Structure 1
Amino acid sequence: MNGHLDFLFRTTRPQNSTIHPHRHQCYELVYYMQGSGSTRVGEYTHLFHPDTFTLIKPHTLHEETHTTDSEVLFVGFQADLGRYPLREGIYIDHSEGAILVLLQRMIIEMQNKRSFYTAKLNHLIGELIIELLRYDEFTTSELSVNKVIYAKNYIDENVGQKISVNLLADLVGYSYDRFRHLFKEEYGLSPMQYVMSKRFELAKRLLKQTDLSISAVSHASGFSNDTQFCSLFKQATGNSPRRYRLQQLT
């Protein structure tokens, strides 16, 4: 496969930063080495986390938001694909980090600028294209599991925020019922059961390790109000939040 490198750079993005909607004349691969957030590619929104990457076709409008500090690699390239199209979307670097290894080799070539480094970079782009084409070997079930993992990671990182099944389903591109079925199949809990379990974990940790008021713990853990928090916490643990805190001190 023939390819040509247009750009390659590595950068950091601070927490809560946003890259506004834009397009490129070439393919772009965005590799997330560290951090998490969401990226919108065309009409679809995807969640990213370390060792995932987004592949974007030329002229596709895209943007991204970083919920944590992130380290990102960007590579733009032209590709002579013939009848083998590259599929747009988000992927996990599953082949022992094969994609990252190629990108790191490109960075070394770019930095050292040895003889014929431009030809070497274009050769590595050809290898990258082949690796990307091999991702079509993924089965539908594997892709479904990956999307459910993204949703779980989103819950883990945003448990104190407002979360609904509709929001999660939209983020991974499934209907409400389909997403709920896949999530429960993978984790043995419905999405909201999992959300509540993570909220109780956070609330217990805050009650045990901080001096925050019950109201502040309720808010930080994502509950709608103090009454709801106290009622649900007692149902789940057998103790009120105040009594739970006192027990941890003795």
Structure 2
Amino acid sequence: MEKSSILLNTPRFFTIREINENSPNWFKQHSDNDYTEIIYIQQGCGEFIFEEKPFMGQEGDLIIFHPFSPIEGKSCIDDPLKGISICFSNLHINGNDKGWLTDPTDFPIIHLLEEKNEIHNYFHAILREYDLKHSGYQYVISSILQAVIIKITRLLKNTNHHSVSPVCLEVKKYIEENFRQELTLNDLANIVYVSPYHLSHVFKDEVGLPPIQYLIHCRIEEAKRLLKHSNLSVREIASIIGYENPNYFNLLFKKMTGSPPGKFRRMKT
């Protein structure tokens, strides 16, 4: 198989598995394994620690475990992580002596935006090939895996996908824990002692969305979860996530998801 200009050789696929709500206490340490693991989070969230610094992974995130990397993680109890884990070895990237996807000092997380559907399809295609094991499945998996790795290296070259700095990480975590409250850009900037202008620009560069848009994203994701897993009314859900005006919530939810809340609930049941 012809090697790409990015990959110096063919990565050696090891295994792929699903992480789901059937294992709510999923816990992972990755400090003594000589392979790379990538977790794609489909829904829910996980709590991770990298070099004694905590961070959250949620729907649409890729978490990268490098060989011998000091990282550990566990599923959130109230919103269990559901995702797919791919393990492989023999990763050698052109221009990178260690062969790691990210810099060893960077937080090992990538927040997917418009690329989420493409990565989702890649992971599911590998999982399907691995489960069915039709003739030549190893070659199909190898080809798709290489495409995934090349895609990730492209994303990391894009300034919108750099790893998250401590300032943005703290604000991101604060939003994820307090999105039900009324928060302004000034409130968030005061938490990390920077100007609102600086926070707005840096946060968008590193996370992919401005802080208030990320706040809305967290609210809508929680609304989707409640619509799927509770019997609360749309009005009650709107109030819980911070919108006292249910009509405004309906319009915003439709704008963000393409469907009004009631229709979304019927589609998911």
CA distance in 2, matches of 1:180, 1:16: 38
Pairwise mapping of residues 225-240 of structure 1 onto structure 2 (< 5 A)? none
Give the CA deviation at 1:70: 2.0
Q: Partners in 2 of 1:61 and 1:7 — Cα distance? A: 21
Aligned with 1:91 (options 106, 110, 118): 110
Match of 1:82 among 88, 91, 94: 94
TM-score scaled by length of structure 2:
0.55
Q: From the two aligned structures, give the one with the greater strand fraction.
A: 1
Structure 1 pair 11–187 and aligned structure 2 pair: CA distance change class (3 A): closer
SS at match of 2:102: coil
Q: Which runs of 5+ in 2 are unaligned?
A: 1-6, 182-186, 202-209, 216-234, 237-269
CA distance in structure 1 between the aligned counterparts of 2:197 and 2:56, rounded to whole angstroms? 19
2:34 aligned counterpart, secondary structure: coil
Rate the CA distance shift 1:184–1:137 in 2: closer, same or farther, 3 A. Answer: closer
1:203 aligned partner: none
Q: State which structure, 1 or 2, has the greater radius of gyration over its C-alpha atoms.
A: 1
Tell me the TM-score normalized by structure 1.
Answer: 0.59
Identity, % of aligned positions: 13
Q: Distance in 1 between matches of 2:195 and 2:74?
A: 23
Report the equivalent of 1:156.
Answer: 179
How far does residue 52 in structure 1 lie from its aligned partner after superposition?
A: 0.7
What code does the residue aligned with 1:4 have? R
Query: What is the CA distance between 1:27 and its match in structure 2?
Result: 0.8
Per the alignment, residue 223 of structure 1 pairs with none
Structure 1, unaligned stretches of length 5 or more? 160-164, 170-174, 192-207, 210-250
For 1:141 and 1:27, the matched residues in 2 are separated by 20
Does residue 69 in structure 1 map to residue 80 in structure 2? yes
How many aligned positions are there? 182
Residues 178 and 117 (structure 1), Cα distance of their counterparts in 2 relative to 1, 3 Å cut? farther
- Aligned pair in 2 of structure 1 residues 178, 57: CA closer, same or farther (>3 Å)? farther
1:63-93 per-position Cα deviation (integer Å, ceiling 9, x unaligned)? 1132212212111112122324511611122
Query: Which of 109, 127, 140 is the matching residue for 1:120?
Result: 140
The amino acid that maps onto 1:126 is Q
